[in-house]
Structure 1
Amino acid sequence: MKKFDYQLLNDLLLDTKVVSKLTTIYQLRGETSSYQIDYHEELKKLVAVAKIQSTDSSNRIEGIFTSDSRLNKIMSNKVEPHNRDEQEIAGYRDVLGLIHENYRYMPISRNTILSMHNMLFKYSGDSWGGKFKDINNKIVAKYSDGHEEVRFNPPDAFLVPELIENLCSSYNDAVKEETFSPLILSAAFVFDFVSIHPFRDGNGRMSRLLMLLTMYQLGFEVGKYISLEKIIEDSKESYYEALAASSVDWNENKNNYLPFIDYYLGIVVKAYRELIERMGLVHNPQKQLSAEKLILKILQQNLKPMSRAELVEQIPRYSQTTIQRNLKKLKDENKIQMIGKGRNVKYILRHS
């Protein structure tokens, strides 16, 4: 049976690239440590945006989606899900909300994992929600061009309960003993969880929820404000490549965790940098910039058309209504132009 040696992680040797990313993360966490006090209102807006993006992106990775308008209504509990995709989206919303509010009271254990999975599928009414798989399955990678590939054959179903127990125990012991940096242990745990593939469905989404849960518990809460799932979706092919590289010889306890750890840490670095960049829009001397000037500045910096939602996300200091009003004003003044129609409208600077 697969064994989880979190004291050594298969004699893991950290290369300079990974060490550099770890150092960067701790530095960036230090830079953002006072944000909750200094920018409480701005962060509340980022939390709302990140919840929507995380729910949308984590499900989209698995081919589950709905319209933007329906997504927003589901996220705000204004409508009941009306099909299978929306039921699973609503389930993810609830588990994400649970983690945000109660992560301190959710030990990394078999029971926590089963309860999260049960909540993930509570709207769909599947009898196997909250239960480990009773049939063998395969890990399939889904690529942006639509093709799928079998990436890995996980352990047989009858082995799963004991494997999950052993994984959680090894992880918790290693965190207490500080055998590696906590982020290394979080990455290894998430990777081993998805390699076990303990459920009939929802394994990828569960792994990303467990990423958030373990990071929050270890003191890295950037995923509350910047969607880690969106960053993963935007780099999906690299995500699958890292999983595949670290899967080689996994069943023989000879796999190399380094490729996935390197990818995982890269996601965290990017999230912290995005958080600092967004908060930079409310720092002096830009703090006094009007919504109008900030819109122009961001359009100039990004050099591409941006939707209203993207601009709201980038400018947490101002409300959606304020951004919308200023977009109309800038368009009327011929400073920006609209591209596309309806829901696909985007804005770009008008060049004379």
Structure 2
Amino acid sequence: MNIERPPHISKNELVAAMLHQPSRQVGEMIDKINETFDYWDAVKYKKCPADCSPLQLWTLVKGARSRCSISIWDKYDIRLSLTSSMQRMCHLIDLYWGGSQGSNSIIDANNKKQYLDSSLIEEAIFSSQMEGAATTRRVAKEMLQKKMTPRDKSQQMIHNNYQTIQYIVDHKDASLSTDLLLQIHRLMTNNTMANPEDAGRFRSNDDVVVENGITHETVHTPPSYKEIPQFIDDLCAFFNDKNPQQFIHPVIRGIVIHFMISFVHPFVDGNGRTARAMFFWYMLREGYWLTEYLSISRVIARSKKAYEKAFLYTEIDGMDIGYFVAYHLKVLEQSFQQLQTYIKRKQEEKKAASRFLRMGNFNERQAQIIKLFADEPTAMVTIKDLEVKFGVSPTTAKSDIIGLLGENIVSEISLNKVKRAYIKGDGLDELLSKA
């Protein structure tokens, strides 16, 4: 991926830009550029006023960023230009991702398990597909829902990711430690490494580089493996310190853990999946419970080029992690919007099914089954399908079906000597005609 380097700005030019008071028009342009944290390759094409060239505009943008720059990681000279839009987004996350306000206004208590199961499956699938898992979403979802044994490496990656997320949820109150990080990597890469002993173990050489998947061009060379032990100690100290000298918003601190693991690349493989999992862990640890219901990796996977550029822009432009933070916050915003859309769709489906409740002595699940066959007369479902769909036990799913069999709403067919499935029964048309 060829990235044009930004023009060189001398220290004197940067100081002058920090002190300069631009015109209102230029000032508004700077604010807009920093709101989306644009890189030079976008700024240079901006239509500038007559008294301001693209280079002058870029210099003023850099001056504005320098005024709000804070140090993040001294060892690697990583800093953050903290913008107003970043702080505004963190404030909104505080309001809606943790505490009672988000709980009361976003997630319906009666459907929490259904939403949670769906989001965890989506997160596992997309995070793995980003790293090369070549299984379709439908096949992967069926494997996880029906708890099938993975048949190949791609399915194993997705299975591992799902198991790791569940482990993280169970250990969300733990402190960050070397053992925790290694265990998460071990779970994430189980039976997928060229050398099985590399699972849950830090790399011991400098043969690891990050390549462009298409051109195989080296886009990032991580620090030496000799720096990994100290890095891990620093990482644990950074995230376990409850009273840091410099306050950094918890959401941004979580984004930093994602970036730093990817930057240092402490493992032979699986760094990206582990980094995203550690962000997930840190958000839950800090009380942002709504993170469990989001498929963050789905948004990242669909904007993978921008994800990769956010890393590259950071390295090329003086290790300003603002590019990655701005990108990541946008991903979180889109994930939240997708969750709202998903919940609205499920609520509408439930509302549409409610009319079938008035047609007989049916419960809500049975009403949704009736709606399914009314909408798709050729559909076929199993007890396992209903368990997964409604998040109920086999006994409850079987009881729902028995009630519908008694009314001839569904019919039973044999798939093999032991397995049964259910299709539309003759009584459904009569029920619908009465409605």
RMSD: 3.4
Q: Answer whether contact 1:91 1:122 (CA < 8 A) is retained.
A: yes
1:128 aligns with 2:192: no
Give the Cα separation in 2 of the matches to 1:319 and 1:177: 57
State the secondary structure of the residue aligned to 1:23: helix
Instruction: For residue 259 of structure 1, report the CA deviation from its aligned partner.
Output: 0.6
How far, CA to CA, are the matches of 1:217 and 1:170 in structure 2? 14
Distance 2:103 2:201 in 1: 39
- The answer on whether the counterparts of 2:72 and 2:80 sit within 8 Å (CA) in structure 1 is no
The residue number in structure 1 matching 2:319 is 255
For 2:374 and 2:276, locate their aligned partners in 1 and report how far apart those are by CA, in whole Å. 36
Structure-2 change in CA distance of 1:277 and 1:261 (3 Å): same
Alignment map for 1:53-132 (pairs within 5 Å): 53-68=122-137, 70-76=139-145, 78-105=147-174, 107-124=175-192, 126-132=196-202
What secondary structure sits across from 1:115 in the alignment? helix
Larger mean Cα displacement after TM superposition, 157-166 or 231-240: 157-166
Q: Which runs of 5+ in 2 are unaligned?
A: 1-70, 356-364, 380-435
What is the match of residue 139 of structure 1? 210
Contact 1:190 1:207 in 2 (8 A): yes
1:327 maps to amino acid: D
Displacement of 1:214 in angstroms is 0.7
**What's 1:289 paired with?**
351
Distance 2:150 2:128 in 1: 14
- In the TM superposition, residue 330 of structure 1 has moved relative to its aligned partner by 12
User: Which residue of the partner structure matches residue 195 of structure 1?
Assistant: 263
Letter in 1 for 2:211: V
Percent identical residues: 20
Checking the alignment, whether the CA contact within 8 Å between 2:135 and 2:154 is kept in structure 1 is yes
Partner residue in 2 for 1:309: none
CA distance in 2, matches of 1:318, 1:15: 51
Alignment check: 8 A CA contact 2:262 2:275 kept: yes
CA contact (8 A) 2:160 2:188 kept: yes
Bigger CA radius of gyration: 2
Q: Counterpart of 1:161 in structure 2: which amino acid?
A: P
Question: Secondary structure of the equivalent of 1:180?
Answer: coil
2-side partners of 1:55 and 1:66: how far apart?
12
Match of 1:273 among 330, 337, 358: 337
Alignment-derived partner of residue 328 in structure 1: 376
Kindly indicate whether the alpha-carbon contact (under 8 Å) linking 1:164 and 1:193 is maintained by their aligned counterparts in 2. Answer: no
Could you tell me which residue of structure 2 aligns to residue 349 of structure 1? none
CA distance in 2 between partners of 1:204 and 1:147 (Å)? 19
5+ residue gaps in structure 1?
A: 294-316, 332-352
Matched, 1:44 2:92: no
The offset of 1:4, in angstroms, is 6.1
2: CA distance, partners of 1:161 / 1:184? 24
TM-score by length of 2: 0.60
- Secondary structure of 2:80's counterpart equals coil
User: CA separation in 2, counterparts of 1:318 and 1:103?
Assistant: 36
Q: In the alignment, what sits opposite 2:34? A: none
Structure 1 range deviating more: 54-63 or 164-173: 164-173
- Structure 1 residues 154-198: Cα deviation after superposition (integer angstroms, max 9, x where no partner): 011222122122122123226655611111111112101110001
Alignment size in residue pairs = 295
Residue 150 of structure 2 corresponds to residue 150 of structure 1: no
